[in-house]
Amino acid sequence: MDFKPLIGALSTAEEAVLLVGAGISYGKIPTGYQLPIQFGEQHRELMRALGLFEDWEKAYGVKDWTVQKPFVEKLVDAFSQEENLALQQTLVDWMQRYKNMMGARSNIHATFVIAWLLGIFEHLITTNWDFLLEWQIDKIYYDPRKHTFPFEPSEFTFKNGTSYSIDPDNLYVPEPLDEDEEEFFWAPRWDIMSTPGDLDRLQEWTRPLWKIHGSPFFLACPKCGGQSYWQVRKRRPRVGDPCPVHPDQRLEPEITFWGQSIDEPYPEVWGEVKARLERADLIVVCGLSGSGSDSYIRRVVEANANVWLVNPSPGDWDLSAVHHVKAKSAQFAARLRGAFLT
């Protein structure tokens, strides 16, 4: 585990990307097909009603993913059928109960988002459904000590008690309130980009978190894009509710499952992400095995000339195309803090 060459390359990079995957959440959400199989186990009646029970039974209790695959494919297919509202609502409700979906304090995720807010990484892309990155961003933005003064620095305190101060210029941009540009509003720079509708909000100064696999907390209207109800406690919209703006349209779940990839449902969003991966002068990949349905991302990343894979194992990555730093995300985060957040 030698981080020196990577830290050196990162200090001179002008447009670096940080791409993170399930590995940085490992141990909190069951990986791979375990999650859909557990869902089937706890919803046997629903599986029966959908005609999926036999497939679930075959997938349950075996370790061979090729045996599990037919059930998962049929479940995902059933989920995408508009009429299966009960399955859609039940599955997203069930996934939301995983603790890290609501977010929690995490040194790894905090380090990554601070490095991104400071511009050490120009772009942050996640394939994860959880809200561990977003939770830390929220804590930075809504520091209660400066709640009403966005022009003061924000402070984030790590678990070990050390704190880091972030300049307001990295967090806000003054946006004119009127055409005369006399009155300004402090607009937060950060945003979540997931669907084509979200792209309308993309500005020169936005720092979008590319959440390319959506979330169980996202519902989308086909006409106006996504809405997140992460952290909304009351009157949450439900699957199938009419869009508040387009009453003739129904809200649909916005989540990309096992075996699916974002390039198919949302080529516009993938196009934006792909362009960034292609023009970046450095890409760090952390916690992404690049296997299965993520191989379309891996191929684009591998084509970039300056890729650093920080993973305990190489997964499906072509080690002749990427630099491999054999390490865990926590070790990388600690090294980043030592080099850039002092």
- CA-nearest of 102, 90, 59, 62 to 233 is 102
Question: Cβ 206 to Zn ion, closest distance in Å?
Answer: 21
* Residue closest to Zn ion, measured at CB: 221
Q: Does 224 bind Zn ion (CB under 5 A)?
A: yes
Residue 255: strand pairing partners: 214
Q: Does 221 bind Zn ion (CB under 5 A)?
A: yes
Q: CB 82: neighbour CB atoms within 10 A?
A: 9
Q: Is 4 in the site for Zn ion (CB under 5 A)?
A: no
Our finding on whether 220 is near Zn ion (CB under 5 A) is no
Is residue 243 within the footprint of Zn ion (CB under 5 A)? yes
Q: Give the Cβ contact number of residue 159 at 10 Å.
A: 9
Closest CA to 52 of 12, 86, 9, 6: 86
Binding flag, residue 279, Zn ion (CB under 5 A): no
Specify the residue, 182 or 248, whose C-beta has the smaller distance to Zn ion.
248
* Per-residue contact flags (x/-) with Zn ion for residues 166 to 205, judged by CB under 5 A: ----------------------------------------
Backbone angles phi, psi at 172, to 5 degrees: -130, 160
Nearest-approach distance from CB 249 to Zn ion, in angstroms: 5
User: Is residue 223 involved in binding Zn ion (CB under 5 A)?
Assistant: yes
Residue 87 CB, shortest distance to Zn ion, in Å, is 23
Near Zn ion in 107-126, by CB under 5 A: none
**Alpha-carbon span 75 to 258, nearest angstrom:** 10
Residue 248 beta carbon to Zn ion: minimum distance, rounded to whole angstroms: 9
Interface region with Zn ion, contact rule CB under 5 A, candidates 7-15, 140-148, 212-220, 241-249: 241-249
> Do the beta carbons of residue 317 and residue 293 sit within 8 Å?
no
Question: 178 or 248, CB closer to Zn ion?
Answer: 248
What are the strands, taking DSSP E only, across 172-291? 172-176, 184-188, 190-193, 207-211, 214-221, 225-228, 252-255, 282-286
Of 130, 132, 266, nearest to 195 (Cα)?
Answer: 266
Which position among 48, 99, 246, 279 is part of the footprint of Zn ion (CB under 5 A)?
A: 246
245, 275, 303, 330: residue in contact with Zn ion (rule CB under 5 A): 245
Q: Is 29 or 199 the residue whose CB approaches Zn ion more closely?
A: 199
Between CA 211 and CA 71 the distance in angstroms is 26
β-pairing, 184-188 vs 172-176, is: antiparallel
Residue nearer to Zn ion on the CB measure, 232 or 245: 245
Q: In the structure encoding, which two tokens stand for residue 265, read together?
A: 């449902």
| Cβ closest to Zn ion, residue 259 vs residue 265 | 265
Which residues are near Zn ion by CB under 5 A? 221, 223-224, 243, 245-246
